[in-house]
Amino acid sequence: MTALPVITAMGGINAAGRSALHFGFQRLIFDALPEIQRQATLRALAQLTGRAEDAQLDGTLIRALPEEHRLHAAISGTSDIPVTLEMRNMDLPDPLPAGWQVTPIDKRRSRVTLPAGLGLNVPLDAPRRVSAAGQLPEGFDPSALYASRNHPRALQMAIFAISDTLGDLGIDWTAVASKVRPDQVAVYASNAMSQMDDNGLGGVMRFPPNGHRITSKQVPLGLGEMTADFLNAYVLHSVGTTGGMLGACATFLYNLEKGVQAIRSGKVRVAIVGTSEAPLVPEIMEGYRAMGALAEDQDLAALDNAGQADLRRACRPFSSNCGFTMAESAQFTILMDDALALELGADILGAVPDVFIHADGGKKSISAPGVGNYLTMGKAAALTRQLIGAQGLQRHSFVHAHGTGTPQNRVTESVILDRTAEAFGIQTWPVVGIKSYVGHSLGSAGGDQLAATLGSFSKGILPGIRTIDHIAEDVHRHHLDICLQHQQHDDLQASLINSKGFGGNNATAVALSASITESMLRQRHGAKAMTAWQQARETTLANKAHFQEHCLNETPKPVYRFNEGVMGDEHVTLTSRSVRLNGGTEMPFDDDPTLREFQLDRD
């Protein structure tokens, strides 16, 4: 019997703040909140940033990059005369290039004279053409919260984000681990760009030309799947299934699909899914700018016929626009099979019955959109109709659009959404686009959307695209209601979360609300099981209330268990039938019943 993947926790960090307990979502809909929730949102941000509560609104969402965030380029030239400079002895090349004259100054430094005619690179701070980005809240420094030991920023963010998720879970991780075999836990986490700052692969490429040495940590810490590795080694101490998918802007949904399928198949009972993306590196942003993807300052100003760009409104999905706005984000969710969620008394935030992924087929430009998103959206709409009925799809679902803010996206995505709505008899399908608030975090974008989806289910509010005042004429919207203002909805039952990534990486996830999920579980498990779950959940809700007080009143305390619980050969008990680690739960080597027809009788 197929298990239903139930969402039991959501956490993370992006330009809106922390995702747990819907704090980040509340920043998006701040104007629509009652006063008590507004104050809670500001207090939670203040604990993250160390800044006054009245400074939090200006220090969140899309805003201007710091002045020092610039591309450090170089001008090439040739010297007609010898050039003399001082160098550290440890930086001298061995052997010395021909013509170099070296005179020791002391034990550590030398004077070096280079011959005339050599090519020289003179550093130059290039003019900045893109000044807006979706940055973590101003003052928040994930590296200061634990012994980060030169970790790349994306890994620092991942440590905070998974800790935030565990707090939102409301159940001690050891209690979860004690209920399942170690090989029934999976971690699927990665990012689209790898770790490209100086502590990761960016330093590997940037250091030698700038006179710095590559360290032993930069290559391993720069690997794309290191997000999952860090969670396993330093937070969860998991030996279960691990890995991560890479799918450009759809990376989070690719990982989510892995978790959903692993739970539905029965291979695992708990799946931790996520991404951590930190692409606000000048060279990376210049690369995206060079391909014409980013909204440049002068083009933003031109949209408003203004002398200066309105950077707070840099991302304008489905309106007159000129490019997307880069962002950083780390988002994680914990999925459980429905039976385990009930047994543990987990707080059920929703469910993800499936995620659909399709490529575009033949292309002319690898970055151009194609037809694959028709397949993912159509299949997602059909599954939603199957699970909650045609009326549920038509009247109680909404779309979390990819909505990047580029001229190409506003046309290509809107036509797909509009045609899907028409095909399924939807008259006015609500469409939201939260990149207008938090920017485009590349691989983490689907996680930003899932966190906001759960927020909408909880609060009954769809966030409007407040950075625009009109819909562009070339947007297809005969059957779409593109939300410009916040909308109150009393019975949101499902969301289709859409991603259209570079290269033809299309993915659409179906997310079901908590109320719909509970109705499904009541139908499957019966009223008695649901009553028992509600009673067990009281402890979980009390723990979450305690975590909320922590968020409102204390500095974050990430979970980082470095050099704890390390196991070696002596901790392994191995037979031909099973393996046991450190005297724990036995993990049997069961025959695979699905391969029985191929089994050769050779005994």
The rounded distance, in Å, linking the Cα atoms of 212 and 245 is: 32
Question: Do residues 113 and 58 lie in contact, with contact meaning Cβ atoms separated by under 8 Å?
Answer: no
- 499-529 burial, b if ≥16 CB within 10 A, otherwise e? bbbbbbbbbbbbbbbbebbbebbeeeeeeee
Query: How far from 124 is each of 72, 127, 246, CA to CA, in Å?
Result: 6, 9, 34
Largest CA distance in the chain: 89
Q: Which two tokens stand for residue 592?
A: 């695979």
Please write down the HEC assignment for all residues of 163-210. Answer: HHHHHHHCCCHHHHHHHCCHHHEEEEEECCCCCCCCCCHHHHHHCHHH
Task: Count Cβ atoms within 10 A of the Cβ of residue 568 and give its class: 0-12 exposed, 13-18 middle, 19 or more buried.
Answer: exposed
The rounded distance, in Å, linking the Cα atoms of 512 and 457 is: 9
Q: Which two tokens stand for residue 462?
A: 């769809």
The rounded distance, in Å, linking the Cα atoms of 167 and 419 is: 41
User: Which of 249, 315, 322, 551 is the catalytic position?
Assistant: 249
Going by C-alpha positions, the residue among 366, 284, 362, 296 that lies closest to residue 327 is: 284
Neighbours of 102 (CB within 10 A): 12
Phi and psi torsions of 281, nearest 5°: -105, 130
Going by C-alpha positions, the residue among 372, 366, 469, 453 that lies closest to residue 413 is: 372
The rounded distance, in Å, linking the Cα atoms of 520 and 537 is: 18
Q: Which two tokens stand for residue 353?
A: 């019955």
Q: Which two tokens stand for residue 176?
A: 């979860």
Q: Is the peptide bond before 556 cis (omega within 30 degrees of 0)?
A: no
CA 432 to chain centre: 18
The rounded distance, in Å, linking the Cα atoms of 345 and 173 is: 13
**Identity at 523, one-letter amino acid code:** Q
Instruction: With H, G, I as helix, E, B as strand and everything else as coil, classify residue 300.
Output: helix
The rounded distance, in Å, linking the Cα atoms of 336 and 348 is: 10
Question: Do residues 355 and 255 lie in contact, with contact meaning Cβ atoms separated by under 8 Å?
Answer: no
* CA-derived radius of gyration, the chain: 26
User: Which of 440, 476, 479, 486 is the catalytic position?
Assistant: 440
Instruction: Find residue 207's DSSP bridge partners.
Output: none
Going by C-alpha positions, the residue among 251, 292, 291, 299 that lies closest to residue 275 is: 251
**Identity at 244, one-letter amino acid code:** G
**DSSP letters spanning 366-382:** TTS--SHHHHHHHHHHH
Residues 6+ apart with CB under 8 A from 107: 89
Q: Which two tokens stand for residue 437?
A: 């608030």
Question: Do residues 167 and 224 lie in contact, with contact meaning Cβ atoms separated by under 8 Å?
Answer: no
Is 249 among the residues known to form the active site? Answer: yes
User: Which of 402, 476, 479, 486 is the catalytic position?
Assistant: 402
Is 402 among the residues known to form the active site? Answer: yes
Active site residues per annotation: 249, 402, 440
